[in-house]
Structure 1
Amino acid sequence: MNDHPELLNGAYALDALDDTERAAVERHLRTCPTCATEVAGFAEAAARLGGASAVAPPPELRNRVLAAARATRQTPSRVAGLRPPRGRRLAAVAAAVAVLAGAIGTTWWVQETRVGDERARVVAAQEESARMRAVLAAPDATLRVSPDAPAGRFTAVYSASQGAAVLTFDGLGAVPSGKTYQLWRVSGGVARNLSVLPPDARSGSRVVENLSPGDQLAVSVENEGGAPQPTSPYASVTMGRA
């Protein structure tokens, strides 16, 4: 009988034991709540591995776990008179530890990445909102409206003191398949890309920085993916002084 079945908990959770070893562990689990809890945790971590995003865990996590496994004294196991080779037992335990560490590390890393991305989006939205309020509240803020926006409104509230404008577009018309809208800043007659809108985008707003009187904000219809320069007539609004 195996004197230390708890050493097989990780391999048991991974279904990496033979019938004799599995029976020994299951007998032990019936009388050891601590090991039963540990096995349940191992199994949950292994299950998450299959559904986790393909993001590599921090290399130092795996290295620390494997180093600890190599440094830990391994107690020989004897199950029903069988004495597996020491190298085979160490390899099985090391493999179980590595896979479980990878599962836990990957899940942790994915969650940390998602939380970090969401936090960055929230901060960016707050900063954008604060900047919009500053431009709109500026004493010299003036509204500019494009007279030829495509089946909608294309406007900008510009403040020369802020050097920025709040660009707003709404109700833009449908575009042919394979086309989309692209936003531009036109300065000195040279158009520079601001952003390529998603094909279904019809409304939105954003702050455009570093504008001077006489600069224009424009929108044109381009192929999906955008163009380096406008390839079709564009609707525009011109920045001016109050």
Structure 2
Amino acid sequence: MLRVLIADDQALVRDGFGMILTAQPDITVVGEAADGGEAVRLARELTPDMVLMDIRMPNVDGIAATARICAETSARVLVLTTFDFDEYVYDALRAGASGFLLKDMRREELVNAVRVVASGEALLAPTVTRRLIADVVSRDRSARPGPVGPSRLAGLTARETETLRQVARGLSNAEIAGALFVSEHTVKTHVSNVLAKLGVRDRVQAVVLAYESGLVAPGDAGVTGEVERSTQS
């Protein structure tokens, strides 16, 4: 059973999400929070598998709450907002969120997103994927010239590095297997090793690091092949 905590300052939104999720046989809502500070406290106390996090909340906002929850608990955070401004996407993922979706999604998309992220994968709304790539590169490289943290990739084997490059380009596990002439099971093993060695929670965080380190860049072949596709494979 997936244990979900809902954090949103609007009671009607919390009720709506709660009704949708509790109708599923494999999901239970263990608590609700009206601001980020309460979300952090309940995440510690209730140990949910997943936190649905609004961004604009009083006292402690969703970005700050996400950073604390990801640092202090094992819960994964799925950010839900009516806003798709670039800075929100970037800041949410930098804080450790495993997904970013807009509130205008259909109910079946919400349920699927919760299951995908709780399973250890990650998810981005298609409307924000390409902007995320440009945002990551322009922000970090304008602030700090040159690739960011290439030493973090030093511990990867050549095959793991190539696997990360293909993930960042938007290829699914099956497509990577075909490109590298290995089995899909081998690709999954490489991806798991990459996540462990880089110390990141999921594939989205690995993709962000791949761009920040200069391993891939916008304009590389296949880079715009939708990060959300690779993160769900």
TM-score between the two structures when normalised by the length of structure 1: 0.21
Normalized per residue, the structure richer in strand is 1
TM-score between the two structures when normalised by the length of structure 2: 0.22
Normalized per residue, the structure richer in helix is 2
Larger Rg: 1
